[in-house]
Amino acid sequence: MSAQFSAAKRGLRARAVRLPIIAVLLSLIFGFVGGVVAVQVDDNGIAGETYTQVTTPPVVSAENAGEISNVAAAAGRLANSVVTISSLIAGSGGGEASGTGVVVTSNGEILTNAHVVEGATEVRVRFAGDTEPVIATVLAVDSGNDLALLKVDASGLVAATFAKPGSVRVGDQVVAIGYALALDGGPSVTTGIVSALRRTIFTDSGALNSLIQTDAAISSGNSGGPLANMRGEVVGINTAVARGDDNSAANNIGFAISVDEVLTVLEQLRAQAAGTPRTEGFLGVSLEARSDGGAGSIIATVQPGSPAEEAGVLIGDIVLAVDGEPVNGQAGLVAAIRDRNPGDTIGIELVREGERLTVSATLVARPQD
């Protein structure tokens, strides 16, 4: 059986790429897995004006999950916080890519997918009810997590409210909002439920983890837009959708980066935009895939003196999860620890000689090559 994934990212003019079974049809994401690259462009797409960031925290709900609204009310609450994004792409095969963004703060911060603005020489944002776009600066990009932070010269914007981390449940009703197919007029609204949590899918630049799976329809142009609960609070950022092929069928399987991941990466993007480099955490193992149909991946090597060795991880152990994130292959492990910092302690779920156990490892800074 096989399946393909596609980024819900482009309008009718966007380019499409088809990848095999463990691929996601995202546009090529430049940069290394887990890397965060700061970029700034001016009106002409050339490095220019630096904004003074007002790091107002995003509005995060204090409420636990609960359905106290309906689809129309949920969509209405976010109507003024969702924007359409147009990116001018340079080089051979260039053109214009379309996506969606979410207003994070009233002073002009906007969050979207990294693949919506990758390779862009100019990024334009149009707000709900406006007829003319404004130029946006790309402050920082995290290709590994497929998130980007933009800034427009504006104030008094209506910021979206983010759901309380940990409040999303399987079976919760959700709405996906975005500029599907870059159609004129307001954003499209579709509804469904949270089908699964903590999904990991593979892309050409590694893996995306901490994903919400939903059956709400997600289409090209939806990328970077919100997946919201029935309170109108953002529970995730829409990023990809599964497509069937000759060997398998895929119906109503879309993915959004969870609010838990989004809020963590947002702070990392802000720090990078302010010029603070990030030091990645390091565990010190390599993995190989299982070939017997079982879950998890097999520890292939353990570096001497590494956090993994000190935690008692052994070659041949089967890794099931890291801090609850399922691990499938080396890219899955990278995704599971990507947002951790040196000094963070992680729990590693293992199977050793048929017995399940959990060990704790304290990460160190990744050695310089």
Active site members? 115, 146, 223
DSSP, res 248: B
Report which of 4, 65, 14 is spatially closest to residue 223, judged by C-alpha positions: 14
CA proximity to 321, closest of 306, 307, 308, 332: 332
Helix (H) or strand (E) holding 272: helix 259-273
Q: Which helix (H) or strand (E) holds 124?
A: strand 120-126
Q: What is the DSSP string of 310-369?
A: HHT--TTPEEEEETTEE--HHHHHHHHHTT--TT-EEEEEEEETTEEEEEEEE-EEPPP-
Contact (CB, 8 A) for 193 and 171: yes
- Please state, in angstroms and rounded to a whole number, the distance separating the CA atoms of residues 229 and 235: 6
The dihedral through the CA atoms of 335, 163, 101, 192 has a sign that is positive
The structure tokens listed for 337 are 């620890």
76 membership: H or E segment, kind and range: helix 71-78
CA–CA gap between residue 126 and residue 181 (Å, rounded): 15
